[in-house]
A and B are shown apart, each in its own frame.
Chain A
């Protein structure tokens, strides 16, 4: 059983193989386990899923490589970068999470139901409805699986750019690739995919209007470290 004592609001620490270090992020929501430091996740299923995945050596290694780069401890070899990107490509959106459609998607029809602001959707579906069906950033006729596959292809394309950054203490890995044939009538030049280490899933897949201003230089993004730069 994980030690949840620091979930009661005291300072939290993580114990790892090299000693003791503070938890990143909001400490009130952090707790420690033998595998590292975690924020308290919004629901138990998500926490269990994350714990199970972290118990898998392959998943832990890819995220550890990312955190090593974040700490400035190493530079990845080409093989290690490929390993990290394969992991990120497989991660996808969190299938156990649910997001509200909110006002922006209210009134749209998805899977034979008219969405309300309170309708709960898996993140993959919410992002698809928003960016493909509503905003037409992807070509007409793009299916949910096509949208997800375009993200995977962007991540795995050796012509894509990759960087690490921290946003409010959360380390994230971003991949930027040319949209090419995935550019819809209201799409833009690049597809961006971002993965958050803490959650082990994608946080976003979309085509920003101005990639530099809207994405790379967004307020709050810090400590940008390019792992591969093609732009």
Chain B
């Protein structure tokens, strides 16, 4: 059975990969069909919910290891840097404080 730390590791990996995908999509511009952008928008919505409902509470409540805390702070910094691209795509903005 997965531990809390296993679950947090998984979520951190997924969110980082998701951000890679969004950055890639932003770079592709109009090359990607609308159906692809639509799907990615929906999944990004879900990822922002995971951030708000799962990952950020785990960080704020001290449920992460020190290593995970550092990975989470790096993720927040990446999200902050990516905000202009996220807005340009019209995707949902993170609903958590991006200041660790």
Contact = CB atoms under 8 A, between A and B. Distances in A.
Interface of A: 42, 97, 99-100, 102-106, 117, 127, 130, 134-136, 167-168, 170, 185-186, 196, 199, 201, 203-204, 206, 208-210, 213-215, 218-220
B65 to A, nearest CB: 20
A187 B23 CA distance: 24
Top 6 A-B pairs, shortest CB-CB distance = A104-B21, A103-B20, A214-B45, A209-B49, A103-B24, A210-B49
Contact of A102 (B21, B41, B92): B21
Nearest to B92: A219
Given A102-B24, A185-B2, A168 B34 contact: yes
Interface of B is mostly: helix
B23 A103 contact: yes
A200 B39 CA distance: 15
Q: How large is the interface on B (under 10, 10 to 19, 20 to 34, 35 or more residues)?
A: 20 to 34
B46 interface: yes
Nearest to A103: B20
B49 A213 contact: yes
B35 A206 contact: no
A105 B46 CA distance: 17
B62 interface: no
B38 A214 contact: no
Interface in B28-44: 28, 32-36, 38-39, 41-43
